[in-house]
Amino acid sequence: MNGSHFAKQTQRERTCSLVHGSWKRAGARLACVGACALMVGQLLLPSVALAADWINVGGTQYNGGVAVGDEAGTWSWNGADDMQLNGYNGGGISAEGNLNIGVTNTNTVTADAGQSAIEVSGGNLSITGDGTLNATGQTDVITAAGNGITGGDVTVDGATVNVTATGTDANGEECENAEAITAFGGDVTIKNGATVDVKAGRAAGSGDGYYGYVTGIYATNGAPGEDGEFAWEHDGQSNKGGRVSIGSGSTVTVKAESTLESQGIVSRVNNGAARVEIAGDSLVTAIADASNGMWGAVGIEAAGMGNDATADIIIDGKNTFVTAIASASKDRYSKDTYGLHTSSGSAVEGGSIQIKNGSVVAEGNDGAIVADNYTTANGPAGMIVIGEGGKVVLPVNGVVRDYQKLGARPMALGNRFEYADFWGQTIGEPGEGVLRADRDADKIAKVAHIAFDGGAMPTPDPAPTPKPQPGGEGSTGTTGAPSRASAQTGSAVNVKLAAVKASVTASKTTTSALAATGDSAALTVAAMGIAGATVAAAGIAAARRREE
CB 271 within 8 A of CB 233: yes
What lies within 8 Å, CB to CB, of 412 at 6+ separation is none
- The number of C-alpha atoms within 13 Å of 476 and in the hemisphere containing its C-beta is 30
Lowest mean pLDDT among 186-200, 259-273, 528-542: 528-542
pLDDT digits (tens, 9 = 90+) for 350-404: 899 999 999 999 999 999 999 999 875 567 899 999 999 999 999 999 999 999 9
Nearest Cα to Cα of residue 181 among 159, 157, 197: 197
Residue range 491-516: average pLDDT? 39
Q: Residue 9 — pLDDT band, cuts 50, 70, 90?
A: very low
Q: pTM value?
A: 0.79
Dihedral over Cα of 140, 120, 245, 411: its sign: positive
Contact 403, 372 (CB under 8 A): yes
DSSP letter (8 states) at residue 490:
S
pLDDT of residue 322 exceeding 80, the answer is yes
Residue 34: what pLDDT?
Answer: 31
Short-list 70, 60, 129, CA closest to 95: 60
- CB neighbourhood size of 417 (10 A): 14
pLDDT at residue number 419: 58
- Quote the CA–CA distance of 166 and 176 in Å, as a whole number: 9
| 236 HSE (CA, 13 A, CB side) | 0
Average pLDDT over residues 308-328: 94
- Is the model's pLDDT at 161 over the cut of 90? yes
Length of the chain: 548
3-state secondary structure of 44: coil
In this prediction, what percent of the chain has a pLDDT beyond 90? 53
User: What span, in angstroms and rounded, lies between the C-alpha atoms of 495 and 187?
Assistant: 42
* pLDDT of 151 higher than 50: yes
Q: pLDDT at residue 221 above 80?
A: yes
pLDDT at 101: 98
pLDDT, tens digit, 9 for 90 and up, residues 285-317 = 999 999 877 889 999 999 987 767 889 999 999
Using the Cα atoms of residue 215, residue 382, residue 405 and residue 491 in order, give the sign of their dihedral. Answer: negative
- Per-residue pLDDT band for 202 (boundaries 50, 70, 90) equals low
Range of 16-25, 37-46, 84-93 with top mean pLDDT? 84-93
Confidence of residue 485 (pLDDT cuts 50, 70, 90): very low
- Say what the pLDDT of residue 459 is: 40
Q: Is the pLDDT of residue 49 over 60?
A: no
Query: DSSP states of 318-383 as a string?
Result: TT-EEEEEEEE-TT-S----EEEEEEE--SS---EEEE-SSEEEEEETTEEEEEEEEESSS-PPPE
Least confident of 43-57, 91-105, 150-164, 495-509: 495-509
Distance CA 390, CA 541 (A): 13
- Distance between CA atoms of 274 and 267, rounded to whole angstroms? 6
The residue that leads in pLDDT, 492 or 254, is: 254
With bands split at pLDDT 50, 70 and 90, how would you rate the model's confidence at 333? confident
Between 520-547 and 498-517, two packed helices, what is the crossing angle to 10 degrees? Answer: 170
pLDDT tops 80 at residue 169: no
Mean pLDDT of the chain: 76
Top pLDDT among 137 and 523 is at: 137
443 burial class (0-12, 13-18, 19+ CB within 10 angstroms)? middle
SS3 content of the chain, % helix, strand, coil (to 5): 15, 40, 45
- Of residues 165 and 526, the one with the higher pLDDT is 165
- The least confident of 30-39, 50-59, 139-148, 392-401 is 30-39
Distance CA 405, CA 306 (A): 18
Structure confidence at residue 377 (pLDDT): 56
Reported as type and span, the H/E element at residue 546 is: helix 520-547
Output phi, psi for 11, to 5 deg.
Answer: -60, -40
